[in-house]
Chains A and B, each alone.
Chain A
Amino acid sequence: MSKLLSSMFNRLVKWSMFWFVTVIFALISVLEVLQKKHMNQDFANLIFDFTNFLPIAVIAAAGIFISKDYANNTIRNKIIVGHKRSSIYIANWILSACISIIFFLALTATAAVLGLTMLRTQQVSYNALLVNWLIGLLVMLVHSSIVTFICMLGKGSSSVLLAILVHFLTLIMVTIAQLFEMFNNNKVSKFLLEFFPTNVIFKLNTYEIIDNAALAAIYLTVIIAAVTLLGVYIFNRTDIK
């Protein structure tokens, strides 16, 4: 596994697109802080202002990175030389998770460091901020698990598009659930809105998640574990061309 990770991270650090997106996220935070400073606004929940854009960036970046191994057929090189399929899958998940964490940190850590030093912080609840931040991190890891699952089992460059499509489908589902919730207090739609990763990231802005933070954390961890284990199970039994 360490050999696989070493080779994959070596590829990642040389991937200019990855650094470009990371810098863009950091830049967004810098501009946001400068704007708030200019308008004399409070720090409030600044660090989550643009988290909505993170899932799609993670899906695109991690998806492209994983799919390249299929597009170039280089996934074969790893299996032929005796790496276990489960190690290959887990290594890809770890890499995808790292991409998520780096993007998340580029956005939130930059905003936190600059915001807390440059803006007023009277309204800031540090506890709530930390809880939301951890939940946000888990949501990013859920997206990593899903994109790894789709791209490792989709076995082609088109799986990135499939992963993006799935993300948009979840957005549509969340919107439908919100509409249902408006008209009747449906249990299913309530559950979806409460814990659906796509909606959780929307809720971070408003601190809504804090009430059910522990449950949300368990729910998100279960999704990560279930998706990853299912992915390893299927990948272990899949034929590769």
Chain B
Amino acid sequence: MEYVLTTNGLCKKYKKSKALDDLTMNVPKGSIYGFVGRNGAGKTTLIRVICGLQYPNDGEFTLYGVKNTDRKIDKSRQRMGAVVETPSIYLDMTAAKNLEHQCRIIGVPSFDCVYELLQLVGLEDTGRKKVKNFSLGMRQRLSIAMALVGNPDFLVLDEPINGLDPQGIIETRELILKLNRERGTTILISSHILDELSRLATHFGFIHNGHMVKELSAEELENACRKCIHIKVSDTKILASVLDEMNVEYKIISEDTADIYANIKVTPLVLALDKQGCEVITMNQQDESLESYFISLVGGKENE
């Protein structure tokens, strides 16, 4: 698999506290990578580090295969756009002027893209209104448009739906999906709003206390969070043959446990197992939401 961004043992210290602690992650090309963590988990620090705003104390990362210590890293950064934390825009300019300014910084020769970008983020009607008179949601949309100047291949969005109204959240989601599907833009999106991320991301990285707890694809996460019956039996081989006969989807977890992904009638199953000499020890229904999965990963109340 080709990766746009890989980090290897990244560490970042602020005085005595460790914001990033041996963080290793891989963002596959063409993916929407949901970067999940609590407030203060280290999401923004990682984004600042990969954007070149801050330097790691230890470890390394590569952007498009170029190491952060390599002089060519600045060239690699020309392929990325980012919104870091708060909007980075001139308050005394209009939305269009801000975009024109960004075009100049990047070296985009014409401003033809300005109106298109304003349309894309729904700010085409702002006219001569200065950004200082924009709502937080409008500023957030403008920041996304600023990050899109120059058609970056890799877009980094730090909490992009903060301050957006429900309509804005839907539009931002559609925009992210559109960029990913139509332009093939790889997107790293950090958020603690799990529900929103689950509608977007193709890959997930769970960060806690600056450390990557788990990295998995959306498919793997779906399986992990899927509604199932968790069953403990004396012999999973017998269980497997019975379930095969019943034409039911399942997954053997260990020698004596398995997950059954279907709404089955319990009595016929137990009777069939008993008939073949297999004892049912425990059986319970699991319906893990993304939230509860996240809490189980980061340790729940223990870490509050």
Where the two chains meet, the residues of A that have a C-beta atom closer than 8 Å to any C-beta of B are: 3-4, 6-7, 10-11, 68, 72-84, 237, 239-241
A82 pairs with B101, CB closer than 8 A: no
Set of chain B residues within 8 Å of A6, measured between Cβ atoms: 104
Docked pose: A80 CA to B86 CA in angstroms: 14
Docked pose: A105 CA to B196 CA in angstroms: 57
Docked pose: A229 CA to B146 CA in angstroms: 31
Asked whether any CB of chain A lies closer than 8 Å to the CB of B299, the reply is no
Cβ-defined partner of A72 (8 Å) among B48, B91, B102, B107: B91
A74 pairs with B88, CB closer than 8 A: yes
B90 pairs with A82, CB closer than 8 A: no
Asked whether any CB of chain A lies closer than 8 Å to the CB of B54, the reply is yes
Binary CB contact string for chain B from 115 to 159 against chain A (1 if under 8 A, 0 otherwise): 000000000000000000000000000000010001000000000
Set of chain B residues within 8 Å of A72, measured between Cβ atoms: 88-91
Q: Smallest CB–CB gap between B108 and chain A, Å?
A: 9
Set of chain B residues within 8 Å of A74, measured between Cβ atoms: 88-90
Docked pose: A74 CA to B150 CA in angstroms: 17
Q: Smallest CB–CB gap between B62 and chain A, Å?
A: 15
A76 pairs with B146, CB closer than 8 A: no
A3 pairs with B106, CB closer than 8 A: yes
Q: Smallest CB–CB gap between B102 and chain A, Å?
A: 6
Cβ-defined partner of B78 (8 Å) among A77, A82, A239, A241: A82
A7 pairs with B101, CB closer than 8 A: yes
- Which interface residue of A72, A83, A240, A241 has the most chain B CB atoms within 10 A? A72
Where the two chains meet, the residues of B that have a C-beta atom closer than 8 Å to any C-beta of A are: 48, 51-55, 74-78, 80-82, 84-91, 101-102, 104-107, 146, 150
B105 pairs with A83, CB closer than 8 A: yes
Set of chain A residues within 8 Å of B105, measured between Cβ atoms: 3-4, 7, 77-78, 81, 83
Cβ-defined partner of A7 (8 Å) among B51, B81, B104: B104
Docked pose: A234 CA to B102 CA in angstroms: 26
Docked pose: A90 CA to B264 CA in angstroms: 71
Set of chain A residues within 8 Å of B86, measured between Cβ atoms: 73
Cβ-defined partner of A73 (8 Å) among B55, B74, B81, B88: B88
Docked pose: A77 CA to B101 CA in angstroms: 10
Docked pose: A82 CA to B102 CA in angstroms: 13
In the complex, residue of chain A having the shortest beta-carbon distance to the beta carbon of B74: A82
- Which interface residue of A6, A11, A82 has the most chain B CB atoms within 10 A? A82
B84 pairs with A76, CB closer than 8 A: yes
B102 pairs with A80, CB closer than 8 A: no
Docked pose: A220 CA to B139 CA in angstroms: 44
B74 pairs with A80, CB closer than 8 A: no
Q: Smallest CB–CB gap between A166 and chain B, Å?
A: 26
A80 pairs with B81, CB closer than 8 A: yes
Q: Smallest CB–CB gap between B190 and chain A, Å?
A: 15
Cβ-defined partner of B107 (8 Å) among A3, A68, A76, A239: A3
A79 pairs with B51, CB closer than 8 A: yes
Docked pose: A107 CA to B296 CA in angstroms: 70
Set of chain B residues within 8 Å of A80, measured between Cβ atoms: 51-53, 77, 80-82, 84
In the complex, residue of chain A having the shortest beta-carbon distance to the beta carbon of B84: A76
Q: Smallest CB–CB gap between B52 and chain A, Å?
A: 5
A241 pairs with B53, CB closer than 8 A: yes
Q: Smallest CB–CB gap between B106 and chain A, Å?
A: 5
Docked pose: A237 CA to B55 CA in angstroms: 8
Docked pose: A79 CA to B101 CA in angstroms: 15
Given A74-B90, A79-B51, A237-B55, residue A3 in contact with residue B78 (CB < 8 A): no
Given A7-B101, A10-B101, A240-B53, residue A81 in contact with residue B89 (CB < 8 A): no
Given A7-B105, A239-B54, residue A81 in contact with residue B91 (CB < 8 A): no
Set of chain A residues within 8 Å of B78, measured between Cβ atoms: 81-82
Docked pose: A26 CA to B119 CA in angstroms: 44
Q: Pick the 7 closest A-B CB pairs, nearest first.
A: A82-B77, A7-B104, A82-B78, A73-B88, A239-B54, A82-B74, A3-B107
In the complex, residue of chain B having the shortest beta-carbon distance to the beta carbon of A4: B105
Given A3-B104, A76-B84, residue A82 in contact with residue B76 (CB < 8 A): yes
Given A4-B105, A6-B104, A78-B105, residue A84 in contact with residue B74 (CB < 8 A): yes
